[in-house]
Amino acid sequence: MEHANDSALRQRAAQVIPNGMYGHMAIGPRMPAGYPQFFSRAEGARLWDVDGREYIDYVCSYGPMIVGYGNSRVNARASAQRKAMDIGNGPAETIVELAERLVGMVAHADWAVFSKNGNDATTTCIMAARAYAGKSKVLVANGAYHGSQPWANRRAPGAPVGEHDAFPTYDYNDSTSLEQAAQACGGDLAGIMVSAFRHDAGYHQELTDPQFAATVRRLCDQYDAALILDDVRAGFRLSLDASWSLLGIRPDLSAWGKALANGEALAATLGSERYREAMASVFVTGSYWYQAAPMAAALETLDILTEEDAPTRLEALGERLRRGIDEIAELHQQRLRQSGPPQMPTIMFEDDPKAERGSAFCSALIERGVYFHPWHNMFLSLAHTEADIDRTLEAVDAAMKAL
Ligand code: PMP
């Protein structure tokens, strides 16, 4: 059997893990035929599945991998810290160093609080916003993802009844709907949460309209509510400052995770001076929130991202991929739509609401050693090379021929 190891592991998993796998990494219900569930090795921009097949990876663990799997500099710094001390009865010096570093890099930030997952960071933002304002409601965009904790998880059962009453919705990039939602809070608006851009899974991506961004800032000022930027997914790929700095808008609070430590478990909440006291009043913590090794990994990752001017490099790589794919699609008369910033491309077919064509395309690519996603934004990394892109384009050409 060609995928014997993967099949055997899936059978074992089905006995002891609900559904055989959960969440965004559950291949069965989510991904096209031919995708492996289990992997055994990762290096640079390459992944190997448990049956030894090699892939050029354009999902990058859904974002965390940004300077390459197993990057030797990040590994060395994290290992040295791990050897000295990772957790203790208090944090190591790295927590101060990393907070200083982020406050220096991110213009709106005057302080940092660290945690583990992106959802910890978005939740911490909400607590700081409410503590500051003494109000309870936080507006979130319809369909936006901010994590799987009950407040953020509207799609699945498991949240208490009423959990989402404190999170009324607006339509992203629609100033009128935002103004109406803000007004409907009747004086109880503590914050407005936004994403770097509209990167909802299953849709063509939409960059943030600068007019909309200006409206968000104006409404936050008008209602004395926090502008909360969820930069968990896009952070450090579009800018080494907060992503909305590209629009000239400063958030009050921002949430970071994923790429921050190149795959070591680390997230951060950053905030402006005005929210410092409120943050100080909130009790937030976790057994692993002070771990020093991931912070050392983050310091090295940020060094590399800065030295290599990551956003510019990733944009150039992404544009090479986008241009190449557009040319090949035209040649094969395939109606593709590529959306989002080049550093985080979404590649879907026009008139393909169930992603059937997209799935066939991705299955044909997986057979050819390229790991694309049929309906989620993908990610470029500094480990990708021009040669990887060119090899990918050859596979894209072959896959389109096979469609
Ligand atoms: N916000 C955004 C925009 C995300 O993309 C994610 C993760 N996909 C999260 C929050 C939650 O992050 P985590 O999975 O690390 O909790």
CB of 228 within 8 A of CB of 255?
A: yes
Total domain count, the chain: 2
Is 263 close to ligand 1, i.e. is its CB under 6 Å away? no
pLDDT at 264: 98
> Which domain-ending residue is among 291, 307, 323?
307
The conformational region for residue 20 under phi > 0 = left, psi -120 to 50 = alpha, else beta, is left
> Residue 69 Cα, ligand 1 centroid: separation in angstroms?
20
Is 147 close to ligand 1, i.e. is its CB under 6 Å away? yes
pLDDT band for position 325 (cuts 50, 70, 90): very high
Q: What average pLDDT does range 260-280 have in this prediction?
A: 98
Q: What average pLDDT does range 256-282 have in this prediction?
A: 98
pLDDT band for position 161 (cuts 50, 70, 90): confident
Q: Is residue 203 scored above 80 in pLDDT? A: yes
Q: Is residue 382 scored above 60 in pLDDT? A: yes
> Residue 86 Cα, ligand 1 centroid: separation in angstroms?
24
Tell me how far CA of residue 176 lies from CA of 179, 181, 191, 261, 355, in angstroms: 5, 9, 17, 38, 31
pLDDT band for position 5 (cuts 50, 70, 90): very high
pLDDT band for position 2 (cuts 50, 70, 90): confident
Q: What average pLDDT does range 195-209 have in this prediction?
A: 97
pLDDT at 158: 86
Mutate which of 124, 258, 288 for ligand 1? The one with the most ligand atoms within 8 Å of its CB, which is 258
Tell me how far CA of residue 95 lies from CA of 229, 251, 273, in angstroms: 22, 23, 19
Is 342 close to ligand 1, i.e. is its CB under 6 Å away? no
pLDDT band for position 169 (cuts 50, 70, 90): very high
Identify whether 144 is part of a domain: yes
Is 82 close to ligand 1, i.e. is its CB under 6 Å away? no
Identify whether 344 is part of a domain: yes
The whole-angstrom distance between residue 401's C-alpha and the CA centroid of its chain comes to 32
- 177 and 249, same domain (yes or no): yes
Residue 94 contacts by C-beta under 8 Å, 6 or more apart in sequence? 81, 292, 295, 296, 299
- 46 and 81, same domain (yes or no): no
304-326 burial by CB neighbour count: b if 16+ within 10 A, else e?
bbeeeebbebbbbbbbbbbebbe
Identify whether 330 is part of a domain: yes
Tokens representing 142?
């319809």
**Does the predicted model carry a pTM greater than 0.85?**
yes
Residue keyed to tokens 């109880």 = 188
340-367 burial by CB neighbour count: b if 16+ within 10 A, else e?
bbbbbbbbbbeebeebebbbbbbbbbbe
- 320 and 298, same domain (yes or no): no
- 52 and 138, same domain (yes or no): no
Is 71 close to ligand 1, i.e. is its CB under 6 Å away? no
> Residue 23 Cα, ligand 1 centroid: separation in angstroms?
12
- Read off the CATH number of the domain in which 318 is found: 3.90.1150.10
- Read off the CATH number of the domain in which 223 is found: 3.40.640.10
> Which domain-ending residue is among 307, 331, 347?
307
pLDDT at 29: 83
- 131 and 214, same domain (yes or no): yes
Identify whether 67 is part of a domain: no
pLDDT at 157: 87
Mutate which of 124, 145, 346 for ligand 1? The one with the most ligand atoms within 8 Å of its CB, which is 145
Least confident of 55-64, 151-160, 203-212: 151-160
The better pLDDT of the pair 118, 162 is held by 118
Nearest CA to ligand 1 atom 10: 146
> Residue 328 Cα, ligand 1 centroid: separation in angstroms?
33
- 301 and 344, same domain (yes or no): no
Mean pLDDT (the chain) is: 97
Is 57 close to ligand 1, i.e. is its CB under 6 Å away? no
47: enclosing H helix or E strand: strand 46-49
Is 123 close to ligand 1, i.e. is its CB under 6 Å away? no
Is 257 close to ligand 1, i.e. is its CB under 6 Å away? yes
Q: What is the pLDDT of residues 80-101, one digit of tens each?
A: 999 999 999 999 999 999 999 9
Q: Is residue 263 scored above 60 in pLDDT? A: yes
Domain of 260?
72-307
Q: Is residue 1 scored above 80 in pLDDT? A: no
Per the DSSP assignment, residues forming a β-bridge with 56 are 46, 370
> Which domain-ending residue is among 260, 290, 307?
307
